[in-house]
Structure 1
Amino acid sequence: MNALHVTTTRIFYAILLLLAVLVLNFTMMHLAPGDVADTIAQSMGGADEETMAQIRADYGLDKSFLVQLGSYLGRVLRFDLGYSFYYNQPVTSLILQRLPATLLLVFTAQIFAMFIGVVLGVISARRPNGILSHFVTFIALFGYSAPVFWTGILLLIGFSLKIQWFPVAGMRDVTLEGGFAVRALDIMRHMVLPTITLSSIFLALYSRLSRASMMETLGSDYVRTAKAKGLTEREVVYKHALKNALSPVITLAGLQFSAVISGAVLVETVFAWPGLGTLAFQSILARDTPTILGILFFSSSLL
């Protein structure tokens, strides 16, 4: 009964939090200058007051704030995120179309950051005062301090424009012909630079944490016992110490998942990756309020 009570309480507070997020997002969009009518009028090359009033009436913008808010909350409770006037299709369909690309990039960047971060952390922990350890520390500080959009632009200039090893933008080459293997390799080539960019800051976190955790584990009693039994250093590090040192890294990875999704917005914009980040950026430029609110709500529900 106690566990059921705790679970019910957490679900209740989660629902309250989502409602608060919905109200806050809608309020901020309502207070922002301009509206859908202004954007439509600009696309038409201008409109008179009567036309503007008719557009606002069609989208329900002529009603009071509380009426608009109540109508929006009612639609969301019916799992209706509205209709995008810019893309001319339901917001839910837009999100579901872009979601696979974002998840592919996010999970790939997370796995890459964890793997490389742990490897670098273990290497530097084995020789904490060595040159390689100092180099790993420098890379970690650089990756953590550099903005992801700046890192992405540098990688684009260096490896797409100068050396031309990787594509400049997009997720696939639409002119490419071939089977599944050819298309998969093409997607992988397009993913290299966005993955490195998105994982750079988190790689720094994982490498520093795994280094500290590994150094602490290597100084524990059971590790000294394993060394006294005559085990090699490789066996001690990878068969005994690494298992316990990975625990805080895995915990941090779960907590940082939301941050990876947030960072994907900038990375997708830089590389024109067809995910939720690019959709959000284009919707902001177009003042497509239903799509913006839908993405914010969907992201809040995931996080």
Structure 2
Amino acid sequence: MPSYASFLIRRLFQSFLIVVGIVIINFVVLNIPPGDMADVMAGTAGGGDPGYADALREEFGLDEPITVQFVNYMTSLLRLDLGYSFTRNMPVMQAIMDRLGATLLLMSTAILLAFVLGVLMGMIAGKNAGKPLDAVISVLALIGYATPLFWLGLLLILLFTINLGWLPSGGMKTIGMRGPWWQQWLDIGEHLILPAFTLAVFYLAIFARLMRSSVIEVAGQDFVRTARAKGMTEGRVYLRHVTANAMLPVLTMLGLQIGGMLGGSVVVETIFSWPGLGRMTYDAIFARDVNLLLGVLFMSSVCVVVTNLLVDLLYSWIDPRIGLNG
């Protein structure tokens, strides 16, 4: 227990340092380009008077030196105050919370689909290495890995919405939808199928390829041969000995891919008009809403770090020797 507690404390401290480093990098990078939101607001209002833009900068504290702005931002962040979004006309925290649920629903569905199917396909391919079934799964994984998200999303809309009329093409729910809660959730589920599958395909291919190679490697280990020599059936060998050990690299990759999936969700949410953080981030970039961008990046980095921390804990639970010494 003491070893596990020290492992958890060490990981929490590392996670804190990572989040602080990400916050600093985000602030510096977003404030390097010329221009600011005062220019955008003045242009949107049709104002060409430099005095109007200067007044806006003074109002939002943008006339202060960058070091003072950073200290003010970090002070507000310690109070969990992410600032005010001028494009949304509301606090940044409220704007994020309004969209966070939709993004978490999309990402959790996609990552669960990719992980379960990827592990299953990789397990089948690894167990049948060199056989036709292995070749079919490997080709499918290669196609999924090489297919661009935007092209796949548009192709699915063309097939399942325009040609077949089976699934909606965008949004999170039907406008004006009324009925019992279960009907509303079914409606959300129908809207979720295409974007979740589009986002999952690339990561499904990664997990399948990694699981296949891991199964092949673990299946040749001495402890697996010993289990077979003791008369254990092939199914029990793979279920009890091969699967758990082969999944360790896949779990590591799962944590690493969460950040990439956040980036992919921007494309998917834009294609399918999904009301999540990705679509809001896309709009905030062109509006130069730095406060909103910093808030989204901060919350995204926290989600990624927390996910990696949970994966580390799961990793150490599956194999304590690796986790506690890592």
| TM-score bracket for this pair, using the shorter chain length | 0.7 to 0.9
- For residues 77-88 of structure 1, the aligned pairs below 5 Å read 77-88=78-89
TM-score (norm 1): 0.88
1:222 to partner: Cα distance: 5.3
State the Cα RMSD in Å: 2.7
**One-letter identity of the residue aligned with 1:85:** F
**One-letter identity of the residue aligned with 2:162:** L
Provide the residue aligned with 1:30 in structure 2.
31
Provide the residue aligned with 1:268 in structure 2.
269
Provide the residue aligned with 1:147 in structure 2.
148
Q: Distance in 2 between matches of 1:65 and 1:223?
A: 60
Q: Distance in 1 between matches of 2:248 and 2:125?
A: 18
Stretch moving more, 227-236 or 132-141: 227-236
Q: Distance in 2 between matches of 1:227 and 1:61?
A: 69
1:228 to partner: Cα distance: 6.0
Q: Distance in 2 between matches of 1:71 and 1:132?
A: 59
Provide the residue aligned with 1:279 in structure 2.
280
Change over 3 Å in CA distance of 1:164–1:2 after alignment to 2: closer
Deviation digits for residues 174-215 of structure 1 (CA, Å, limit 9, x no counterpart)? 222211111111111111111111111111111112212222
Provide the residue aligned with 2:299 in structure 1.
298
Q: Distance in 2 between matches of 1:3 and 1:231?
A: 33
Local SS of the residue matching 1:79 = coil
Q: Distance in 1 between matches of 2:115 and 2:205?
A: 10
Deviation digits for residues 246-267 of structure 1 (CA, Å, limit 9, x no counterpart)? 3432343233333323322222
Provide the residue aligned with 2:170 in structure 1.
169
- For residues 117-136 of structure 1, the aligned pairs below 5 Å read 117-136=118-137
Q: Distance in 1 between matches of 2:240 and 2:145?
A: 30
**One-letter identity of the residue aligned with 2:213:** A
TM-score (norm 2): 0.82
Q: Distance in 1 between matches of 2:192 and 2:205?
A: 20
- For residues 1-303 of structure 1, the aligned pairs below 5 Å read 14-221=15-222, 223-224=224-225, 233-238=234-239, 241-303=242-304
Stretch moving more, 217-226 or 168-177: 217-226
Deviation digits for residues 138-181 of structure 1 (CA, Å, limit 9, x no counterpart)? 12122222332332222222222332221111111122221111
Deviation digits for residues 218-271 of structure 1 (CA, Å, limit 9, x no counterpart)? 444555566567666545444554344334323432333333233222222221
1:109 to partner: Cα distance: 0.9
Deviation digits for residues 8-56 of structure 1 (CA, Å, limit 9, x no counterpart)? 6665554444333323222222222321112212221233122222122
1:68 to partner: Cα distance: 1.9
Stretch moving more, 172-181 or 15-24: 15-24
Change over 3 Å in CA distance of 1:21–1:237 after alignment to 2: closer
Q: Distance in 2 between matches of 1:20 and 1:124?
A: 41
Provide the residue aligned with 2:323 in structure 1.
none
1:279 to partner: Cα distance: 1.4
Q: Distance in 2 between matches of 1:292 and 1:282?
A: 10
Q: Distance in 1 between matches of 2:28 and 2:222?
A: 57
Q: Matched residue pairs, number?
A: 303
Identity %: 40
Stretch moving more, 286-295 or 9-18: 9-18
Change over 3 Å in CA distance of 1:129–1:10 after alignment to 2: closer
- Gap runs ≥5 in structure 2: 305-326
**One-letter identity of the residue aligned with 1:136:** I
Q: Distance in 2 between matches of 1:37 and 1:242?
A: 56
Q: Distance in 2 between matches of 1:233 and 1:10?
A: 38
Q: Distance in 1 between matches of 2:7 and 2:225?
A: 42
1:123 to partner: Cα distance: 2.2
